[in-house]
Structure 1
Amino acid sequence: MASSSKQKWLFACVTLLTIFITGACGIDIFLEWNVAIDSTIKPVSVDQPVITINGMFPGPLINSTTNDFVHVNVFNNLDEPLLFTWNGIQQRLNSWQDGVSGTNCPILPGTNWTYVFQVKDQIGSYSYFPSINFQKAGGGFGPIRVNNRIVIAVPFPKPEAEFDLLIGDWFSNDYKETRIIMDTSLTADDAVPDVMLMNGKGPHGHQMSKTYESFTVTKGKTYRFRISNVGSVFSFNFRIQNHKMVLVETEGSYTNQITLDSLDVHVGQSYSVLVTADQDDADYYMVASPKWFNTYDSSSLVGVGVLHYSNSNSQVSGPLPSGPDPFDVEFSMNQAKSVRWNLTTGAARPNPQGTFNVTNVTLSQNFLLQGSKGEINGKRRYVVNNVSYLTVDTPLKLADQFVNGSGVYQLDWFPTNSVNTEAEYGVSVSTGIHKGWIELVFINKLDVIDCWHLDGFGFHVVGFGNGDWTPESRTTYNLFDPVVRSTVQVYPGGWTAVYAFLDNPGMWNLRSQSLKNWYLGQELYIRVHNDDPNPAKERPPPGNLLLCGIFGDSDAPGSEPAPASWTGL
């Protein structure tokens, strides 16, 4: 080989190696967020406080690439403590950045704190939101994208553009007023939301709306919509008039590509769909209608936006496109079962997603978790196995790190496979076996759809069913290509089964994504501990660690004094 040719060849190799290493290591993304109240936004034309980030509602996009480190310096300009959680971002070896009451002290009013987390092995669509004090009902939520490195192929052609579409139910009053109702009322169905928003905007054509959401497309082009349910209460069915959707991704997993007329999106979930502008130049309705709710007398709870063709000279008109019966569990469950993992495509690494299958795994643990309502000391609460989680002043993670939990929680008293005879408070912390497979069976004794989420891990969604779960139900599981996602729905009177590989040491929150249920106690924590002192164990506390509870003068948010006889110590 000639000298010049060798030099060119070496230069090309070094360039490719540099690209690969740079992409593999990721970059640092620095963000500064000023979180404040704005009463001028009026998403439903009424005066109400809206939580904004840098003046934006919804908040700004976190646009990242696999392996990037994200630094978010949060300035709390509210009049109460604040935390953010990164819904579905697994934060490998780093539950210190999880941003829930069991892991972090709050960011007090007038102060700031910087989160630092890595988006690793999770190409996909997610969201963030405030995690305490019922603040999610007041805003503060926004989208997260984790993009692929250039060395990782995407299993569909590059779309013309990508759109983030945050859809969720919304209360027209002050979120603090709604919080008071949650704290004091004993009736089952208090505080029904008033409207369905799309990217913070009300329904097209409704008297409550100042404006509506619209996306401009060009005929013949294909677009990616990243749809997230950022609401508090309702699952919804999403559809676009006269257009099909091709499902391609959910919460970091590429799915088998199925064509849909409509898509059910449950609280806390995110999906990516491809939409091709293959109709006549016109405007078309985008609709999100709540599940398990009759909207005949609440038309504002049908979210309506517009898909606008760039050469359109007409406005949308006529009836909205109809969707499935909102009470049709069979339709929704069958669609959920059809959402399968694409075993042939690469994920964050070159090897196929199917490399990580669950066909022959050996289960180390099994938790049966029943979600229901209860009453404790005259207060309405939500419970797991008849235990309602009680937030204490000291974050569990702090207590775990410095006093081995002593005086804050007692490990493994919570009943993971049985239901207490009477509802009670407790600081529920259970052991998760490090690098073991756990089977979680969520049982829904409520009369509405519930959703469950585990921070730090992905769920392999292996089964759905009606009625009671029994060991024989395992014969119905899909162990070949169950999709992996961070939030899963459980239908009324039914069950959902998932597997999770507990390879991520930390103190991790397992909760209902229904804000009311979560706020009133439907949660617990799983402690995954690794005694091995090698560098692969969980990262040490960050240098900017906040102290509170028994370690400082300030209290954790949203806590209440423990009754003298409460279980958990």
Structure 2
Amino acid sequence: MGYIDIHRSSLMICATAIMLSVLSGVIGIDIYLEWKVSLDPTIRPINVNQPVITINGMFPGPLLNTTTNDLIHVNIFNNLDEPFLMTWAGVQQRLNSWQDGVSGTNCPIKQGKNWTYVFQMKDQIGSFIYFPSTGFQKAAGGFGPIRINNRIVIPIPFNKPEDDFDLLIGDWYNTSYKDSRRTAGQKHINPQYILFNGKPPYKNSWGGRHESFTLKRGKTYRFRISNVGRELSLNFRIQNHQMELVETEGSYINKITLHSLDVHVGQSYSVLVTANQASADYYIVATPTQVDTRDFPDTKGIGILHYADSTTPAKGPLPSGPDPLDRQFSIDQAKSIRWNLTAGAARPNPQGTFNVSNVTISQTFILHGSKGKIGNNPYYVVNNVSYLTPETPLKLADYYLNGTGVYQLDAFPIKSINSKASRNTSVVTGVHKGWAEIVLKNDLDVMDTWHLDGFSFFVVAYGFEEWRHGLHYNLYDPVERSIVQVYPKGWSVIYAYLDNPGMWNLRSQILENWYLGQEIYVRVHDPDPNPAKEKPPPQNLLHCGL
């Protein structure tokens, strides 16, 4: 079972009229989609009356299956009772932050209205996700998988698998997203469930349908695994089967064989799984990691790997993972994920010739993520500043008003912590075509993950000691991705080449942190008005707040 591939299918409105376009000298196709976003009280992923956000009646939403350089047209109809925005995490929106779908770039789609996103999968491959970006709505669903397949002329660095499966894993709560939104930051409630593609665990007490995948014995399959949850890092494994890790968020990596894989919030991985065991059913499991699981005694995601000719149900104990408090295991695994420098994919220089050991750093950001009180209200902060969302999206304010009256450029402290917590609209300058060193520090006792829109970045270091430039840095073959985990009381360092002009969101991917202000925006500006440098506003641009 798993996801049904709807690429060029009935859900693609007008897809039969696909025309070939030459986009930046490379052929792609136009894909037209019509998505109706609704709140559905009848889909019950858990045994609670709890509405979920569906797309065309699907929870999770449909697979967005594309190829490098395809041009995507997604007409979203908002049937919710409140405004809605969709973001496409990891899709770089080259020269086109107008389509990024976050509060700093777009006005929300009002209830009862529709708006069409138009964006290109420019020079990208890999596995990503989309999800609602405002109003805590991601806690109710509205998310789905994105595939960007290689062009036919670019081979993948492994044998073509028999099939691809998308597997969205993530924590889930008894409370509705509106109730969770109301109490965010006030009293922490642990998630009660882990869902696989929106389905409850195998043999759940209420008879809900679990997720399963059917494999032919002797064949190899690609599982694209994404953590779409709110807060929990998850350790993923398959009973009696090894996994070969091959890709993460658009980068092919040097293949490594794993018994289990840590997938942190927002992250996506591709693993190859070969059906090389006796014909039977086997458990697929995801459990919390980097937390004390005594707080989550029954929180497990369980699905089934089903051999096509199997008549034997899954049996025996669930496959065990590493100690959930074994931080060193998790860090060692993260450090072992290295970029494949010889694979055919987009990169700054010809394949096999690029690493970051000789780049010149143009600027350094040192960003502390933590929590504080402002007045009597809890907020999450970056360097003791909680992001205040203005009525006018930053991108519109930048284009029409040069930011006047909406934000003050570079008022945010990029290397220091303010003595007193405050709220402000934090926008910093990113040097166009410069290398930014971004040090992400986690002052909390729980895991954090960070995402930068508009770019992929190189993860060069993890650490716990006092950070200093160069400490533990891997500058030869660091993995390139768009989501990085930051361990409790630790730090992670990323290098980002800021060659994509626009207004770009840098945020915690932990939903409560993001909702309560742990984000800033990076303004990468090219003063040349040539549309080849940055696209002008789309003709259907929504206006608000101006």
Shift of 1:49: 0.8
Residues 524-539 of structure 1: pairs in structure 2 closer than 5 A: 524-539=520-535
Distance 1:489 1:409 in 2: 29
Q: Check whether the contact 1:343–1:352 (CA below 8 A) recurs between aligned residues.
A: no
Structure 2 distance, partners of 1:294, 1:329, is 12
Report how far residue 45 of structure 1 moved.
1.9
Range moving further from structure 2, 528-537 or 145-154: 528-537
List per-residue Cα deviations over 1:245-272 (Å, max 9, x = no partner). 0000000000000000000000000000
Deviations 1:528-558 (A, max 9, x none): 0001233432100000000111x2xxxxxxx
Question: Is the CA contact (8 Å cut-off) linking 1:50 and 1:139 kept in structure 2?
Answer: yes
Q: Determine if contact 1:152/1:350 at 8 Å carries over to the other structure.
A: no
Per the alignment, residue 427 of structure 1 pairs with 425
Q: Which letter does structure 2 place at the counterpart of 1:25?
A: I
| Correspondence for 2:493 | 497
- CA distance in structure 1 between the partners assigned to 2:532 and 2:60 by the alignment: 37
Per-residue deviation, 1:314: 1.1
* Cα distance in structure 1, aligned partners of 2:89 and 2:284: 25
Residue identity in the other structure for 2:336: S
**Pair 1:210 & 2:208 matched:** yes
Please report the TM-score for the alignment, with normalisation by the length of structure 1.
Answer: 0.90
CA distance in 2, matches of 1:306, 1:353: 39
Q: Distance in 2 between matches of 1:345 and 1:352?
A: 10
Instruction: Summarize deviations over 1:497-530 as a string: whole Å, max 9, x none.
Output: 0100000000000000000100000000000000
SS in 2 for 1:332: helix
Matches within 5 A, 1:378-389: 378-389=376-387
Corresponding position of 2:14: none
Question: How many Å separate the matches in 2 of 1:28 and 1:481?
Answer: 35
1:469 maps to 467
Supply the distance in 2 between the matched residues of 1:349 and 1:399 (Cα, whole angstroms). Answer: 32
Which residue of 494, 512, 517 corresponds with 2:508? 512
Kindly indicate whether residue 115 of structure 2 is the aligned counterpart of residue 113 of structure 1. yes
Q: 1:555: which partner in 2?
A: none
Q: In 1, Cα distance between the equivalents of 2:365 and 2:256?
A: 32
Please tell me whether residue 337 in structure 1 is matched to residue 335 in structure 2: yes
Q: 1:392 maps to what in 2?
A: 390
1:206, CA displacement in angstroms? Answer: 2.3
Contact 1:66/1:348, CA 8 A, preserved across alignment? no
Match of 1:323 in 2: 321
Read off the aligned partner of 2:68 and give its amino acid letter: T
Q: Corresponding residue for 1:371?
A: 369
Q: 1:135 & 1:19 partners in 2: Cα distance?
A: 36
The aligned residue for residue 97 of structure 2 is 95
- Distance change in 2, residues 1:375/1:363 (3 Å): same
CA distance in structure 2 between the aligned counterparts of 1:102 and 1:191, rounded to whole angstroms: 29
Question: CA 1:415–1:198 in 2, change beyond 3 Å: closer, same or farther?
Answer: same
Q: Which moved more, 1:246-255 or 1:310-319?
A: 310-319
Deviation at 1:349, TM superposition (A): 7.5
2:12 is matched with which residue? none
Query: Which range moves more in the overlay, 252-261 or 526-535?
Result: 526-535
Q: How many Å separate the matches in 2 of 1:41 and 1:388?
A: 35
Give the aligned partner of residue 154 of structure 1.
Answer: 156
Q: Deviations over 1:68-99 (max 9, x none)?
A: 00010000000000000001000100000000
Cα 1:372/1:209, change in 2 over 3 Å = farther
Q: Distance in 2 between matches of 1:356 and 1:77?
A: 47
Matched with 1:544 is 540
Contact kept, 8 Å, 2:391 with 2:544, in 1: the verdict is: yes
Shift of 1:317: 1.9
Equivalent residue of 1:323, what SS?
A: coil
2:246 counterpart (245, 248, 251): 248
**Distance in 2 between residues matched to 1:321 and 1:479, nearest whole Å:** 36
Equivalent residue in structure 2 for 1:521, among 517, 521, 529 = 517
Assess, with a 3 A threshold, how the Cα gap between structure 1 residues 353 and 139 changes in structure 2: closer, same or farther.
farther
Which protein has the larger Cα radius of gyration, Structure 1 or Structure 2?
Answer: 1
Out of 69, 72, 79, the residue aligned to residue 70 of structure 1 is 72
Contact 2:502/2:525 (<8 A) preserved: yes
Match of 1:44?
46
**Are residues 26 and 303 of structure 1, via their aligned partners in 2, closer, same or farther at CA, if it must alter by over 3 Å?**
same
The amino acid that maps onto 2:88 is W
**Aligned partner of residue 313 in structure 1, secondary structure:** coil
**For the Cα contact (< 8 Å) 1:196–1:300, is it kept in 2?**
no
Q: Which moved more, 1:352-361 or 1:29-38?
A: 352-361
The separation in 2 between residues aligned to 1:139 and 1:461, in whole angstroms, is 29
Give the C-alpha shift of residue 120 in structure 1: 1.3
Q: Which residue of 2 aligns with 1:291?
A: 289
- Larger displacement relative to structure 2 (121-130 or 294-303): 294-303
- 1:351 shift after superposition: 7.0
Match of 1:198 in 2: 196
**Distance across 2 between alignment mates of 1:418 and 1:451:** 20
Structure 1 residues 244 and 150: CA distance shift in structure 2, 3 A: same
CA distance in 2, matches of 1:29, 1:336: 35
Contact 2:20 2:27 (8 Å CA) reproduced: no
Which residue number in structure 1 is paired with residue 307 of structure 2? 309
Contact 1:354/1:481 (<8 A) preserved: no
Structure 1 residues 266 and 297, CA gap change in structure 2 (3 angstroms): closer
Question: Which residue in 2 is equivalent to 1:448?
Answer: 446
Secondary structure (helix, strand or coil) at the match of 2:334 reads: helix
User: In the alignment, does 2:39 pair up with 1:27?
Assistant: no
Q: How far off is 1:467 after superposition?
A: 3.0
In structure 2, the partner of 1:226 is 224
Q: Identity, % of aligned pairs?
A: 66
Q: CA deviation at 1:350?
A: 12
Offset of residue 296 of structure 1: 4.4
Q: Residues of 2 paired with 1:335 and 1:73: CA distance?
A: 40
Conserved? CA contact 2:190–2:296, under 8 Å: no
Q: Is the 8 A contact 2:82 2:111 kept in 1?
A: yes
Unaligned runs of 5+ in 2: 1-18
**Which secondary structure does the structure 1 equivalent of 2:331 belong to?**
helix
SS in 1 for 2:26: helix
- The whole-number CA distance in structure 1 between the counterparts of 2:369 and 2:294 is 29
In the TM superposition, residue 191 of structure 1 has moved relative to its aligned partner by 2.5
Counterparts of 1:180-199 in structure 2, within 5 Å, are 180-182=182-184, 185=186, 187=187, 190-199=188-197
Are the counterparts in 2 of residues 43 and 209 from structure 1 also a CA contact under 8 Å? no
Counterpart CA distance in 2 for 1:427 and 1:146 is 33
Q: Which amino acid aligns with 2:135?
A: N
Residues 202 and 209 in structure 1, CA contact (< 8 A), matched pair in contact too: no
Matches within 5 A, 1:78-93: 78-93=80-95
- Quick check: 1:451–1:489 contact (8 Å CA) kept in 2? yes
User: Residues 318-342 of structure 1, C-alpha deviation per residue, up to 9 Å, x if partnerless?
Assistant: 2111000111110000000000000
Q: Report the counterpart of residue 479 of structure 2 in structure 1.
A: 483
Q: How far off is 1:457 after superposition?
A: 0.5
Q: Return 5+ residue gaps in structure 1 as ranges.
A: 1-17, 552-569
Letter in 2 for 1:411: L
Partners of 2:399 and 2:354 lie apart in 1 by 32
Match of 2:57 in 1: 55
Deviations 1:467-496 (A, max 9, x none): 32123xx14200000010000000011110
CA distance in 2, matches of 1:72, 1:431: 31
Q: What letter is aligned with 1:527?
A: R
The corresponding residue for 1:141 is: 143
TM-score normalised by structure 2 residue count: 0.94
Q: Which amino acid aligns with 2:203?
A: G
2:122 maps to a residue whose letter is: K
CA distance in 2, matches of 1:300, 1:399: 48
Encode CA deviations 1:390-418: one digit per residue, 9 max, x unaligned: 11111011100000000000000000000
Provide the rounded CA distance (Å) in 2 between the counterparts of 1:300 and 1:405: 49
Contact 2:293 2:324 in 1 (8 A): no
- Change over 3 Å in CA distance of 1:240–1:511 after alignment to 2: same
